[in-house]
Structure 1
Amino acid sequence: MPARQTLSFAAQHALILQQNFERCFGAPLIAKPIASADLLQALQQADFALVSHGTQADPVFNFANTTALSLFEMDLASFTQLPSRYSAQAVTQAERNQLLAQVSEDGYIDNYTGVRISASGKRFYIEQAKVWNLYDQQQKYYGQAAMFHSWRWLSQ
């Protein structure tokens, strides 16, 4: 039964990611038409990085697709225990905090750039990231998500 509950949560989460992205940016996360039943798999296998975090005082990641997990060099179980602030280096933490405040106020941002750090300490620069607020089916604040197509590794 727990695997079924996890799948149900993941499928519902994928729908929330898709609906809120489309609300903010006027286009779906996945460009080609896709059945709701196939959305989670399509998001997991997308060629862009997609992550989200919850509503805790120190928000913890609750989703990452395969591309994001590869960039952050983590498995899903480890990633979903990580406070999202640890995805940025300390020197860029103030910039990240400003970004999240702007997203909270405006609902989204579509041109974020910044440095992120993987589990092994590798740094990568993300470009033109979209970050948006998430709301559940009852319009209750649900967290924030980010996606980006473009990144480059930085020399150590």
Structure 2
Amino acid sequence: MTAEPLSPPPWLTPAAQSLALCLLSNYQRAFGTPLIACLAADASPLLVAQELFAAELVLLAHDGADPSSEPGPRLIYANRAALRLWQRPWPEMVGMPSRLTAEPAERASRRQALLAAQAKEAISGYRGIRIDSRGRRFAIEAARLWTLRDSSGQPCGQAARFSRWWLL
């Protein structure tokens, strides 16, 4: 009897590995510093994807849909820290409209920050209020938002990272 090969977890699929490389390279381009300092420049895509998922900082990304449209951008990535903070498993978090990470009263200011980051390619120092899957509110501070570009240089989404947050 031969064992069936196990499917990789969703954050380690070939598509997720490509996205992890995109997140790293675009962060470096936007801020001039590595997203994960300990990763070697020649790290394999699999190692990059593993390290991003396991990182202590909260990392999210959404697709390139217009933030002013309905339903707006959908999440395409959430690392383990983000999944824990929003109290959602990967299948619930990835694919949902990213606006749902904030409560309705905070969505306009969130949208403005996304549009500013889109216009400037990147912003630092963003702060806002978010809400998890159970309605628990929390503040984020010192977030960085940046534009994701594909291999041909076309915008294909946005990402955010932060490590400062607290419950309200």
TM-score (structure 2 length as normaliser): 0.86
Residues 1:20 and 2:26 are matched in the alignment? yes
CA distance in 2, matches of 1:105, 1:55: 13
Structure 1 position 68, deviation (Å):
0.3
Q: Tell me the distance in 1 between the aligned counterparts of 2:86 and 2:107.
A: 17
Aligned runs of 1:1-156 on 2, under 5 Å? 3=7, 7-34=13-40, 35-37=43-45, 38-57=47-66, 58-154=72-168
Q: CA deviation at 1:33?
A: 3.1
Kept after mapping to 1: 8 A contact 2:39/2:48: no
Q: What 5-or-longer segments of structure 1 have no aligned partner?
A: none
* Higher radius of gyration, 1 or 2: 2
SS across alignment from 1:74: coil
**What are the ranges of 5 or more consecutive residues in structure 2 without an aligned counterpart?**
67-71
The number of residue pairs the alignment matches comes to 152
CA-atom RMSD in angstroms:
1.4
- Percent of residue pairs identical: 36
Distance, in Å, in 2 between the alignment partners of 1:36 and 1:148 is: 24
**Cα offset, 1:56, TM superposition:** 2.7
Structure 2 SS opposite 1:129 = strand
Deviates more, 1:99-108 or 1:26-35: 26-35
Q: Deviations over 1:3-53 (max 9, x none)?
A: 57x611000000000000000111111111331331100000001000000
Partner amino acid, structure 2, of 1:130 = R
Q: Name segments (4+ residues, structure 1) moved above 6 Å.
A: none
SS at match of 2:134: coil
Structure number with the higher helix fraction is 1
Report the CA distance between 1:91 and its aligned residue.
Answer: 1.1
Partner amino acid, structure 1, of 2:17 = A
